[in-house]
């Protein structure tokens, strides 16, 4: 499979309209890579795309299970893995969480970067429950997702803030991307689900995780049409006690 070059914004388009892969690493993904360096059991990446995080994780010497909905994405990822690392990479194509199963207590860490914001609330809950089961005690889950605080989504902010204030469990769920942010519809699925530290903290706690850290991430690496007020992404790290 041929490597796809980044566009002028530094993104690489997915082949299935599931957003775009970044070519830069946010601080939570970088922490995951440092964490993986000291693991002995495998670590898992969900929605690995072309490998922006999986490839440097493999370079640390870690064993990596790379999942993606698209086999084509994983084939491109694999074509970039050096010979020395190939035996430590397992490809696991399929739709997470439904189609993906691992043994309980079989992984030491997991990264789900910029994927959960395509899932419904119940799908996110099922995802966290599954990963919790697969992690060994002491294992860590790293999640990064987009928030509603992006310039192209500014028109949705009043609705999000009103729903959040009223106690709605999923204030960032938008099932009409085309009408809310028409300029983004060509790269996204019909619905998106922007998240924040409060929502992810609630979900992590409900799944049994102890939260090590969570905060908004200032995406200085994002293009101007997305950068807003320094809250464009959210990161969270949970530990299985």
Ligand X SMILES: C[S@@+](CC[C@H](N)C(=O)[O-])C[C@H]1O[C@@H](n2cnc3c(N)ncnc32)[C@H](O)[C@@H]1O
Give me the residues that bind ligand X (CB under 6 A), please: 14, 16, 18-22, 46-47, 49, 52, 67-70, 73, 95-96, 113-115, 118
Find the shortest distance in angstroms from Cβ 166 to ligand X: 29
Find the shortest distance in angstroms from Cβ 51 to ligand X: 9
Which residue's CB is nearer to ligand X, number 111 or number 135?
111
- Residue linked to tokens 């729903």: 163
Which residue's CB is nearer to ligand X, number 48 or number 207?
48
Find the shortest distance in angstroms from Cβ 49 to ligand X: 4
Which residue's CB is nearer to ligand X, number 133 or number 164?
133
Q: How far apart are CA 214 and CA 186, in angstroms?
A: 31
Element (H, E) at 59: helix 54-59
Q: Is 67 helix (H, G, I), strand (E, B) or coil?
A: strand
Q: DSSP readout, 76-140?
A: HHHHTS-HHHHTTEEEEES-TTTT----TT-EEEEEEES-GGGS-HHHHHHHHHHHHHHEEEEEE
Tally of CB atoms within 10 A around 46: 24
Find the shortest distance in angstroms from Cβ 167 to ligand X: 28
Which residue's CB is nearer to ligand X, number 56 or number 163?
56
Assign residue 236 a region (left: φ > 0; alpha: ψ between -120 and 50; beta: otherwise): beta
Per-residue burial over 219-239, b if 16 or more Cβ lie within 10 Å, else e, is bebbeeebbbeebbbbbbbbe
Q: Is 224 helix (H, G, I), strand (E, B) or coil?
A: coil
Q: How far apart are CA 92 and CA 101, in angstroms?
A: 10
Find the shortest distance in angstroms from Cβ 158 to ligand X: 26
Which residue's CB is nearer to ligand X, number 22 or number 147?
22
Which residue's CB is nearer to ligand X, number 70 or number 164?
70
Which residue's CB is nearer to ligand X, number 163 or number 221?
221
Find the shortest distance in angstroms from Cβ 43 to ligand X: 14
Dihedrals φ, ψ of 185, to 5°? Answer: -60, -30
Find the shortest distance in angstroms from Cβ 26 to ligand X: 8
- Residues in Cβ contact with 165 at an 8 Å cutoff, skipping those fewer than 6 apart: none
């Amino acid at each position: 499979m041929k490597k796809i070059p980044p566009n002028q914004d530094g993104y690489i388009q997915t082949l299935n309209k599931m957003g775009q892969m970044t070519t830069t690493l946010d601080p939570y993904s970088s922490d995951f890579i440092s964490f993986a360096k000291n693991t002995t059991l495998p670590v898992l990446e969900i929605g690995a795309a072309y490998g922006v995080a999986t490839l440097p994780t493999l370079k640390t010497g870690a064993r990596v299970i790379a999942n993606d909905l698209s086999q084509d994405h994983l084939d491109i990822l694999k074509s970039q893995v050096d010979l020395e690392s190939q035996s430590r990479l397992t490809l696991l194509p399929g739709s997470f969480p439904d189609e993906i199963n691992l043994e309980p207590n079989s992984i030491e860490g997991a990264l789900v970067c910029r994927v959960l914001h395509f899932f419904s609330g119940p799908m996110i809950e099922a995802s966290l429950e599954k990963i919790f089961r697969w992690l060994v005690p002491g294992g860590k889950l790293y999640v990064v997702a987009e928030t509603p605080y992006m310039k192209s989504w500014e028109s949705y902010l009043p609705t999000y803030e009103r729903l959040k204030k009223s106690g709605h469990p999923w204030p960032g769920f938008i099932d009409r991307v085309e009408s809310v942010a028409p300029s983004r519809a060509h790269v996204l699925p019909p619905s998106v689900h922007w998240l924040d530290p409060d929502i992810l903290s609630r979900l992590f706690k409900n799944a049994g995780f102890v939260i090590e850290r969570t905060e908004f991430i200032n995406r200085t690496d994002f293009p101007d049409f997305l950068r807003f007020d320094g809250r464009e992404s959210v990161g969270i790290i949970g530990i299985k006690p």
